[in-house]
Amino acid sequence: MQTGASQPLSLNPTGTLSRRHTAHFVSAIDNEVTSVLDVTIQAQILDLFKKLRESMNLSIILISHDQAVVRHLCERVAVMRHGQLVKYGTTMQIFSEPRETYTRELLAAIPRIAKSLQSHETPVE
C-alpha cells in the first residue's frame, strides 16, 4: 500500500497508525502466506523483504504467529491478544525482557530443540 513519499503511515507506540516522514512506503505482509512454502524459499523471500526494507527505507507491518520470523525481520514488535495491544517495544525488549504474563507465555510456547533432545537422550555406559 503506497501512502505517498512524504506522508507514510506507521505503527506508533500506542498501537495506532500515524504519519511518519522517514519512510517512503508501508507494506503489510501476512506471513501465513509464506509459511506454506519450502523453508529455503521462505527464507529467501523474508531476506528479500529485509533487504528491500533497508535499501528503500520501507516500513513493513508483518502479521505472523512465527516468532522466529518476527525476530529475524522486525525491529519493533506489537504483541496482541484478542485484538488488543498487550505489549509494544523493540524486538530485543519483547524477546529478552518479557514482562507481561501473556508475552512470557507466548515465548515459553516456542519449541526448544536442545531441551527436547536432552529429555530423550539415553545415558551412555
pLDDT of amino acid 93:
92
Cell numbers for 37: 512454502
Residue type, 23: A
Q: Pick out the chain residues at pLDDT < 70.
A: 1-27, 31-33, 113-125
Alpha carbons 82 and 107: distance in angstroms, whole number? 17
- pLDDT on residue 91: 93
3-state secondary structure of 61: strand
Q: In this predicted structure, what is the pLDDT of residue 9?
A: 44
Sign of CA dihedral 88, 89, 92, 97: negative
Q: What is the 3-state secondary structure (H, E, C) of 3-29?
A: CCCCCCEEECCCCCEEECCCCCCEEEE
Distance CA 27, CA 38 (A): 23
